[in-house]
């Protein structure tokens, strides 16, 4: 009898140990996958294709009489129906704004329903620029309308399976030519954000930045932001 009880205890202990081991590698796998995708330059479109068609089955071609734009055609600076909304029109990337800083968004990295994007702020002026804390971010749809259902939060703790919010808020001084970055993290949703209205901090004048890849968040999703930190080389 004692031998049976001891054997059963050993099996229960082994099962509990296995249960604990299954959970920890999941987050590690997500972080590793995001890092690998970022390093390989794989963007949102490729990840969406993998999630939609994991077996890579060929799809029948669709015949359409509507003309299509040739591959490589330039994307218009503003989508049809764009109306400048409060906060100004789309930022001109060829000139330094009156604020003395230029803001631009990098490609979207995707893995297992998790999305991440780096936003860079560069001091293009002639004076030092001070940063401290988190940016103010709003997501706009293709018509330039704020997506009210999207909630922007400071930090990434509330985003399921997101990497830890590493940089702590701290004062930064950007000399002319220097850059700082913030990371945006969200879970895949049904929304289609095409612009970011982003300011260095709440209360500052925002810039409206067009995204190179749509931001598939919402309609009730959360957009996590990290504190500004010096840009990586």
Architecture of domain 1-52+80-233: Sandwich (2.60)
Are 152 and 137 a contacting pair, CB within 8 Å?
Answer: yes
For the stretch 140-177, pLDDT in tens is: 999 999 998 899 999 999 998 888 766 789 999 999 99
pTM value?
0.65
Among candidates 222, 210, 228, which has minimal Cα distance to 74?
210
pLDDT tier for residue 233 given thresholds of 50, 70 and 90? low
- Neighbouring residues of 157: CB distance < 8 A, sequence distance ≥ 6: 164, 165, 224
Looking at residue 47, its pLDDT comes to 55
What are the tokens at 178?
A: 């220097």
For the stretch 99-148, pLDDT in tens is: 999 999 999 999 889 999 999 999 999 999 999 999 999 999 999 999 98
Q: Is 16 helix (H, G, I), strand (E, B) or coil?
A: helix
* Beta bridge partners of residue 182, listed in sequence order: 119
For the stretch 12-63, pLDDT in tens is: 444 344 333 333 333 333 344 454 444 444 444 555 555 545 555 554 443 3
For the stretch 174-205, pLDDT in tens is: 999 999 999 999 999 988 899 999 999 999 99
């Amino acid at each position: 009898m004692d031998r049976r009880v001891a054997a059963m205890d050993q099996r229960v202990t082994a099962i509990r140990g296995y249960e604990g081991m299954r959970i920890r590698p999941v987050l590690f796998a997500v972080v590793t996958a995001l890092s690998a995708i970022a390093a390989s330059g794989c963007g949102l479109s490729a990840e969406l294709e993998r999630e939609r068609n994991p077996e890579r089955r060929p799809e029948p071609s669709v015949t359409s009489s509507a003309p299509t734009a040739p591959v490589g055609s330039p994307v218009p600076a503003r989508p049809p129906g764009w109306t400048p909304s409060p906060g100004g029109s789309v930022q001109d990337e060829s000139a330094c704004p009156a604020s003395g800083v230029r803001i631009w968004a990098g490609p979207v990295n995707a893995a297992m329903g998790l999305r991440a994007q780096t936003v860079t702020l560069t001091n293009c002026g002639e004076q030092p620029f001070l940063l401290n804390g988190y940016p103010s971010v709003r997501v706009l749809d293709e018509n330039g309308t704020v997506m009210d259902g999207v909630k922007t939060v400071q930090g990434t703790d509330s985003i399921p399976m997101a990497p830890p919010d590493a940089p702590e808020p701290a004062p930064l001084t950007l000399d002319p030519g220097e850059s700082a970055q913030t990371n945006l993290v969200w879970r895949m949703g049904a929304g289609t954000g095409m612009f970011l209205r982003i300011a260095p901090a709440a209360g500052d004048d925002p810039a409206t930045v067009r995204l190179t890849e749509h931001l598939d968040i919402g309609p009730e999703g959360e957009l996590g932001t990290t504190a500004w930190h010096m840009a990586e080389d």
